[in-house]
Amino acid sequence: MIIAVDGPTASGKGTIARGLARHYGLPHLDTGLLYRAVGLHVRNLGGNPDDPLDARRATDFPDRLLTDPTLRQEAVGALASRVSVHKDVRAALLDRQRAFAAQPGGAVLDGRDIGTVVAPHADVKLFVTASVEARARRRHAEMLSRGEDVSYDAIRTDLISRDARDRNRAEAPLIEAADAILLDNSDMDAAQSLAEAIRLVDATM
């Protein structure tokens, strides 16, 4: 069984994907980490994330970057969003994601284009979303708990520009697959949101 979980930044798709993987005993890939690793590597190399060649070169990042806590930083998320617009970057990361999805027992993948590009034949596609305010509040609380001192307004502004860049890019934009199930969790906490996701997946089987 392949489960695709897509949605915008801070929608809770990662938490849902991890929870679904645990519930169904499937391996999980957070594909955002791959784009974050490219963003971090381009910075480490002194390259320009907006330059297609520099960004393409950074897809050769060392595997150890995938476990670097720096990856979770807001600034690296913004770099990831910039490198992810380049066609060659997306192409370079595609095989790795498809190989993960093709494991014999199935897998859960979360990202922006899993249901549309990486695994268009996924058995279940969830599109997880929430209002900008709900997402900004969650991201703000998460950052404060990690000791990162950022204002709510700065986070909200960054979310809006990240959404716009992810939705409006030419290559694999963030968009609901025609056969995706929408899960709006603006008024749910993490546990309710996972329970609803499990209910939706069970209902399709």
- For the purposes of burial, counting CB atoms within 10 Å of the CB of 73, is it exposed (0-12), middle (13-18) or buried (19 or more)? middle
Give binding residues for ATP as ranges: 7-15
Tokens representing 90?
A: 């997306």
- Looking at 51-59, 106-114, 138-146, 182-190, which segment touches ligand C5P (CB under 6 A)? 106-114
Considering only CA atoms, which of 158, 159, 162, 151 is closest in space to residue 132? 159
Distance from chain centroid for Cα 158: 16
Q: List residues forming the annotated binding site.
A: 7-15
Q: Does 57 bind ligand C5P (CB under 6 A)?
A: no
Give the separation between CA 124 and CA 95, rounded to whole angstroms: 20
Compute φ and ψ for 135, nearest 5 degrees.
-70, -40
Asked if 158 is part of the footprint of ligand C5P (rule: CB under 6 A), the reply reads: no
Using the minimum distance from each CB to ligand C5P, give the nearer residue, 26 or 111: 111
Residue of the chain from 49, 130, 166, 193 that contacts ligand C5P (CB under 6 A): 166
Contacts with ligand C5P by CB under 6 A: the residue count is 14
Residues that bind ligand C5P (CB under 6 A): 9, 31-32, 35-36, 77, 80-81, 84, 111-113, 162, 166
